[in-house]
Amino acid sequence: MRRMIPSLQSLICFESAAKHQSYTHAAQELHLTQSAVSRQIQQLEVFLDLSLFNRTRYGVELTHSGEQYYKNIKSHLLGIEQHTLDIMSHKGLGGTLKLGVVPTFATCWLLPKLHHFNAMHPEITIHIETSTKPFLFNEAIFDAAIYAGTQQQVEHWPGVDTHYLMDEDLIAVCSPKLIVKHFPQMNVDNVDLLELSTEQLLQLPLLQQTTRPEIWTEWFKTNHIFHPKPHKGHRHELFSMLAVASKQAIGMALIPQILIESELRNKELVIVSRNKLLGSRAYYLVHENHDSSPLIKKFIDWIQNELIKHPSYSLDQNMSAKF
């Protein structure tokens, strides 16, 4: 059965002409003659049985069908080019692993450690894009995903194998500058954990997470503290945004400890309570259940070993100061 796919050369000429809205510029980009570009696009229009461009006295402009077709094919042409470059660069060895990762986990945990994986497996190239929602692997461009969600959400993700990575336990943190501002008598030098009293915690401004508006209410309730305004404060969508705002001494935030290890180690943030909010969410590595790719297996083994070697340090082991 003949596939209904036009020639690649025709698609390349059309994509370039659509991008530039000009046959002349497309010819220059592709190192072809203008007549060759025009001929390829005419062949494509015959194949599709519709017009892709309106010819005007000033040049060409896309028809409505042309605009829709251009939007649909340009990402696929880019994908073909990327896959071609990947396989050429690997010379048949290793390969490319495309990951969809929740944004803060990617920037705060995965990327700072990924050079260890690169050193172990130089033959594997990692492409990372942000992804926050479940998707069907047979309809997506990812080989695997690192997803933050509940066990129920993962169980209802069709056609996947899941590998538990870690819980998303939240800790209350703020900048030492915020502590000094509100409590000038406190010494915060070289202190990892401050056991603030209930009265002191209630004096600190809160930073809210847009997608989880009840997060402070839950934390205060868990710790048997009544806060008169647990929803008040600046709102930010991502944990990485909350971390930056916290470092600027804007307020106190609830953030997974494993995502702010660097800030805690560098004393940019300090933990203000030993009490965690044990979240219902966790981080999982997810991939298609029929995919036994050795690339995925190597990545799973590496990330699980990293979590064993570099666990988030325990609050019980930290130096603490009570006030």
Q: What is the pLDDT of residues 158-175, one digit of tens each?
A: 888 899 998 888 999 999
Mean pLDDT of 3-19: 92
Percentage of the chain surpassing pLDDT 90?
A: 55
For range 32-41, the mean pLDDT: 93
Closest to 169 (Cα-Cα) out of 199, 148, 154, 147 = 148
Name the residue ranges covered by the structural domains of the chain: 8-89, 93-167+281-309, 170-278
Query: Residue 218 — pLDDT band, cuts 50, 70, 90?
Result: very high
Mean pLDDT of the 211-228 span: 92
Which are the contacts of 243, defined by CB distance < 8 A and separation ≥ 6? 108, 253, 255, 259, 260, 263, 269
pLDDT tens per residue across span 194-203: 889 999 999 9
pLDDT at 316: 42
The closest of 182, 29, 288 to 12, measured between CA atoms, is 29
Answer whether 114's CB lies under 8 Å from 126's CB.
Answer: yes
Instruction: Check whether 320 has a pLDDT greater than 60.
Output: no
pLDDT at 138: 59
pLDDT of residue 139: 61
State yes or no: pLDDT of 22 exceeds 80.
Answer: yes
> What is the DSSP code (8-state) at residue 109?
I
Q: Is the pLDDT of residue 323 over 70?
A: no
Pairwise pLDDT comparison (40 vs 83), residue with the higher score: 40
Position 313 confidence tier, pLDDT thresholds 50, 70, 90: very low
Mean per-residue pLDDT, 9-22: 93
DSSP 282: E
The amino acid that residue 84 corresponds to is T
**Across 87-91, 113-117, 127-131, least confident range:** 87-91
Fold observed for domain 93-167+281-309:
D-Maltodextrin-Binding Protein; domain 2 (3.40.190)
Please report the pLDDT score of residue 89 as a whole number: 65
**pLDDT, tens only, 68-80:** 999 999 988 887 8
CATH number of 8-89: 1.10.10.10
Beta pairing partners, 60: 55
Higher local confidence (pLDDT), 168 or 255 = 255
Q: Do domains 8-89 and 170-278 have the same CATH topology?
A: no
CATH architecture designation of domain 170-278: 3-Layer(aba) Sandwich (3.40)
Residue 29's pLDDT is what?
A: 94
Q: What is the pLDDT of residue 310?
A: 67
Written in H, E and C, the secondary structure of 177-224 is HHHHHHCCCCCCCCCCEEECCHHHHHHCCEEEECCCCCHHHHHHHHCC
User: What band does 150 get if pLDDT is binned at 50, 70 and 90?
Assistant: confident
Residue 44 pLDDT > 60: yes
pLDDT of 31 over the 70 cut = yes
Mean pLDDT of 48-74: 91
